[in-house]
Amino acid sequence: MTGHAWPEVYKKLGVAPIINAQSWITALGGSIMRPEVLQAMDDAAGVFIDIKKLNLAAGEVVATACGAERGLVTGGCAAAQVLMGAACMTGTSEEKAEQLPDTTGMKNEILLFDGQRNRYDKAFITAGGKLVTFGDGDSVTSEDLEQAITDKTACVAFVVAPFLPAGIGLEETIRIAHERGVPVIVDAAAEVPPRANLSKFHEMGADLVAFSGGKGIGGPQSTGLLAGKAELMEAVVMNSLNLDSSIAAIGRPMKVSKENIVGLVTALQLFTDSDEAAEWQGWHSKAEYVAERLTGIDGVRVEIEDDPSERQGPQPVLYFEEDYSGPSIAEIKEQLEAGDPGIFVGGGGAREEINIVMVNVQEGEEVIIADRFNEILRG
């Protein structure tokens, strides 16, 4: 074992730490919380408080950070998606909220551009709605959306993610939907940093916007933040663990503990207060180090790429040329993952490349990564 101490709690379970060069992905543990966040959670855990008051106060912090009318800490971005879908179907009617997941008599269609179908979109309809797609694969026009909107439309969902096409774009989506009195809800789970995105989609006029708390923000992995227009947020809160009301809310299985609420609030404040340029520079230096160590391998071209619409932070991308004759991408990844410590990188599948994402690479791990790649590719 090189590089990492193996925490006793994981050792007892026989689960070894790995190097995460694949991004803020759930399967590898999201992100690592800063000591201040852990301390805040520890402090929060030692006393009882009124969760209702805590939710209100934390919601204000979220709203301020997002430049929105009202906010809420949720049990992840996916939980926020469930609540956004529910809110658009029930509005502020307690009767309708009680009736979910049965949506008889409600507007229950949630529209989504076909090209943005993804493995998280079921959360939009978990509350009982029906997903209705428009467009065909990656191709879509404004007319497609206009024609898809009916008197059964509860909302239009939009997903911002580097791996998905934007279709007609969020602004045009909002224009068309709002002309017809239909709200727009946004899954922007992994879109921060940049910090400016916390408020960007609200400024465009989106009604509700959700982010993960446990990705770039560095909060607890099972938290998220949801913010938006006051009336729809009222409906969100009603469908969540709402201690003000006696309804059996659809959001009950997605409660957030006091420790997690405090952890998210603390992480969010540290995140908005910290220096984005310095953070970026840190990732860039690691990317440059690895890229330099991997130049001159036969048939492998290394580029540092950092376009935010394509990539999560600056990262070396390995392209395998015609004359490359080493192990396949799948074999390289297999060897990296089987090593000690295991190293997880992005790429393969649809992308004929390997990308080494630096946002979660801890100090010194870039050396281990470069060493292992050299053993596999030059060895």
Ligand X SMILES: *Cc1c(COP(=O)(O)O)cnc(C)c1O
Among 44, 66, 77, 249, which residue interacts with ligand X (rule: CB under 6 A)?
Answer: 77
CA distance 357 to 306: 10
Choices 52-60, 98-106, 187-195, 226-234 (CB under 6 A): range interacting with ligand X: 187-195
* Nearest to ligand X of 215, 293 (CB atom): 215
Choices 73-81, 145-153, 170-178, 307-315 (CB under 6 A): range interacting with ligand X: 73-81
Both structure tokens of 266: 């603390």
Shortest Cβ 338–ligand X spacing (Å): 26
In 3D space, the residue among 121, 175, 187 whose CA is nearest the CA of residue 149 turns out to be 175
Among 58, 83, 145, 159, which residue interacts with ligand X (rule: CB under 6 A)?
Answer: 159
CA distance 221 to 25: 10
* Nearest to ligand X of 254, 369 (CB atom): 254
Strand partners, 50: none
What residues contact residue 315 under an 8 Å CB cut-off, 6+ apart? 283, 287, 304, 305, 306, 346, 355, 356, 357, 358
- Residues numbered 101 to 120 that lie near ligand X (CB under 6 A) are 120
What residues contact residue 11 under an 8 Å CB cut-off, 6+ apart? none
Residue nearest to ligand X (CB): 76
| # residues near ligand X by CB under 6 A | 13
Shortest Cβ 188–ligand X spacing (Å): 8
C-alpha 237 chain-centroid distance: 21
- Residues numbered 119 to 158 that lie near ligand X (CB under 6 A) are 120
Cα dihedral 340→343→348→349 (10° resolution): 90
CA distances 208 to 154, 220, 370, Å, are: 13, 22, 42
Among 109, 187, 207, 366, which residue interacts with ligand X (rule: CB under 6 A)?
Answer: 187
Interface mask toward ligand X for 211-240; x: CB under 6 A: -x-x---------x----------------
Among 76, 85, 218, 228, which residue interacts with ligand X (rule: CB under 6 A)?
Answer: 76
CA distance 343 to 347: 13
Shortest Cβ 78–ligand X spacing (Å): 3
Residues that bind ligand X (CB under 6 A): 26, 76-78, 120, 159, 161, 187, 189-190, 212, 214, 224
